[in-house]
Amino acid sequence: MTYGATILDADGLRLSADEKAFFRDADPFGFILFARNIETADQVRALCGDFREAVGRDCPVTIDQEGGRVQRLRRPLVREWLAPLEHVQRAGENAERAMYLRYRLIAHELHGLGVDSNCAPIADVACAATHDFLKNRCYGTDTATVARLGRAVAQGHLDGGVLPVLKHIPGHGRATADSHLDLPRVGAPAEELEQTDFAAFRALNDLPLGMTAHLVYDAYDSRPATTSPRMMQLIREEIGFDGLVMTDDISMKALKGSLPDIARDSIAAGCDVVLLCNAALKDRIAVAEAAGAMTEAAQSRAERALAARKPPADLDIQAAEDELAAFMGGQVYG
């Protein structure tokens, strides 16, 4: 079976008849949840079941549950967290263990709701110019720290039975614009990027899933990384990432053109899967048709990623919370 080269979402709390029929035919690799898809724990589990029933397999269901501003699940369903950078700063010398525990608890919550993937860790290296939409979502301002904490975040997910999605490859930290609204351009020289931004991702290049950055790197190409064959080559060969690469949401304003054209350009550049969010059903249909089925190489990466999805290890919730609280001076949650 070859999967459709898309990750798609749903309009509401359960799938409509039209969505079920479309997903059955298009067979997207996986799905993503947003706040509009979330009401109660039982409803979220039922919606995840709808997705899997529609495609007839145990497909991955992902979400953005970083903590801070970016957490689709909220109280009372789950814990709400400080922004990642604040969490790191509060934990100080215990940041590595504190980040592991944070995301181990998040993974426990997600897995219990039927969600088995999360769009984290972020390996973007923050700097003075990093746009506010991203800055406090980062883990630090130097490559070694970001890579070390990114590894802890990834392991927390994997130990909880949840696949981590490494983002935003090959590095979003230098962006001075919000790629949801504009196309950021990075003018740093290639050597500097390779030693800092790209190096953080190289240290995590064994992770199963990754997400692109909608940024132009002037030293390499005039096209955004998501639709740039040169940047995708860099991700594969120079960063050495051989996991499944999904685009960031192609409906973001950083990318210009029709959604089907962007989907085709992303696949042609070397992305394995196109992520489309918050679009009308007709647009999801058009993008699924444009993206087509996964290539043989993409399918192989998809199967390897799914094989990394393991049952959760045992977790003493109270002990994890107590240990984390000790690191955080009592303020663990947002």
Name the residues annotated as catalytic: 180, 248
- Whole-number Å distance between alpha carbons of 169 and 176: 16
Q: Helix axis angle, 17-26 relative to 281-291, nearest 10°?
A: 0
Residue 185 backbone dihedrals phi, psi, to 5 degrees: -125, 135
> How do strand 274-275 and strand 216-217 relate by DSSP bridges?
unpaired
Cα–Cα distance measured from residue 24 to residue 26, given in angstroms and rounded to the nearest whole number: 6
| Contact by Cβ (8 Å): 28, 55 | yes
67: left (phi over 0), alpha (psi -120 to 50) or beta: left
CB 80 within 8 A of CB 134: no
Q: What angle do CA 172, 37, 179 make, to 5 degrees?
A: 20
* Spatial distance between the Cα atoms of 103 and 160, rounded to a whole number of angstroms: 9
Rounded to an integer, what distance in angstroms lies between the CA atom of residue 152 and that of residue 109?
18
Strands 4-8 and 274-275 come out as parallel
C-alpha–C-alpha distance, residues 250 and 266, integer Å: 9
Distance CA 12, CA 15 (A): 7
Count of alpha carbons within 13 angstroms of residue 294, beta-carbon side:
24
Task: Please name every residue paired with 275 in a beta bridge, in sequence order, or none if there are none.
Answer: 7
Peptide bond into 224 cis (omega under 30): no
